[in-house]
Chain A
C-alpha cells in the first residue's frame, strides 16, 4: 500500500495552502536575513581592513548566510509542537487507530517539509551561482548533491531529537519552551548565527563531541565545497550514532508514556 504517497501529497498541499503568506515569508526571510548578515560582516571586514577572515571572504560569507535560513528550515522540518500539540488537544487519537506506525507517519510528514525546503535551497543556490557568474559546474552540483544528502540525514537526526522532547508532553503541561531552548542551542552551536570557524579552537574541539556542528555547519560546508572528505565521513558517522541514540530515546519515551495518554487533551 502506497500510503506514504498520500501523506506526502497532503503535506505539500498544507505547506502551499496560503501561497501569498508562504512566498512573502520565504522571500522576505531569505533576502532580508542575507542582507542584514552581509551588512554586519561587511562592517567587520572593513573595520579590520582585511578581505579574508578565518578562511571566509565576503562573497563566501554571503553564500553562507543564503544557505543558513533554509538549513534551519530543512533541519527543523515541521514547526515546534508537531507532536505535543496533538497530545494536548487529544487529536493524537487518530494515530492510535491508523493501520500504520505512528513513528513512520510522523517521520514522513516531518521529512516532507525538509524535502520541500531542500528544493528551495537547490533553487536559491543555483540562482545565486548564476547571478555571481560562477555558473553551474559539475563540481558545484556534486557539492550541492552531497550537501542536500547530509541536510536530510541531519533532519532525520533532529526529528528524532525533537520527537524525544515533544513526547515529554505526555508528562509535562507544556514543552514548547523546551523545544525553543533546544533550537537556541542547535542554531548557536551548530553555526546558524556565525560560522563555527570563528569560535575559539577549544570550543570547536568540545563541540565535536556533540551533534550540533554536524546538524548545520557540516551540510553547509559541504554544499559550499569547504568540507574535506574526512570531515564528511566522520560527520556522517557522528550523525548516525546520534541518530541511533535519539531514536532509542524516543522509542523508550513512547513506550514509557503511551499508557499515560488519556485521549482527552487538556
Chain B
C-alpha cells in the first residue's frame, strides 16, 4: 500500500503536485489509547497561549506595529512638542514618558480585537468550539500572548526613554511597577476589544473604531500636557477619563511617589473593566456563528 515519495528535481518534495497515495495504513487513523480526560482550565488556556506564541514566531511581522508605534510616538512627541511645551525636549521627556508608555500599550490592545476577528473568520475556531474545553480558554490564552506584546511595547518605550535621558525618580522598582500596572490595565481593556472582535464584522471596522475610541481617550488625558490650560468642558472629560487615572498612577510610580490608593484605583478600574467586558465577550463568543 505504501508509495515511495517521488523525488523532485528541485530537491525537497514538491508539495503542490505530490500525489495523495492511498492511506498508509487505514487502521492507524484510529486512536488505540482510550480517550484521555479533557484538559483543565489552566492547561487549555496555556495551550492557547502556546498557540499565540507559535503564531508570533511564524508571522513576526504582526509585531511591527507594536514595535514601530512606541518608538515613533516617543521620538515624535519628545522632539516635536518638547521645546514648545517644556522649554526643552529633555525636560518634557521627564513628564511625557509615562504618557507615551500608556499610549503605546493601549494602542497595542486594538490588535487583540483585530487578531481575534481574523481568527474567527478562518474556521479554526469552529473546531475549538466543538472541543470539550473550558470555553473562555481560546480567548484567555490569546490574551496571554497579547500580554507579551504589551510587555514588548513597554520595554521599548522604557528603553528608548532611558536612552534619550529619562531618569525615573522611583528607579528600577518604580519603572517595573509602572509597566506592571499598565500591562494589567491593558489586559483588562483588551476585553473591550475581544468583544468588538466578536461583534464587529471586519478587522478594518475594528481598526477604525479603535482609532476613534483610543486616540481621544489617550490624547484627551493628562498623558501629554497638564490639563489646567484646557477649557472647562475638556477638563471635565479629562477628569473622568480612566486613562487619566492610569497616567497619574504610572507617572507617580515612575517618579517614586506612588501611593497605595493610586495603585488601588488602577487595579479597581482593571477589575471593573474585566467584570463588565469579559462576561459580555463570552456571551458574544457563545452566540457567534
Q: Does A pair with B?
A: no
Which residues of B line the A interface, CB within 8 A? none
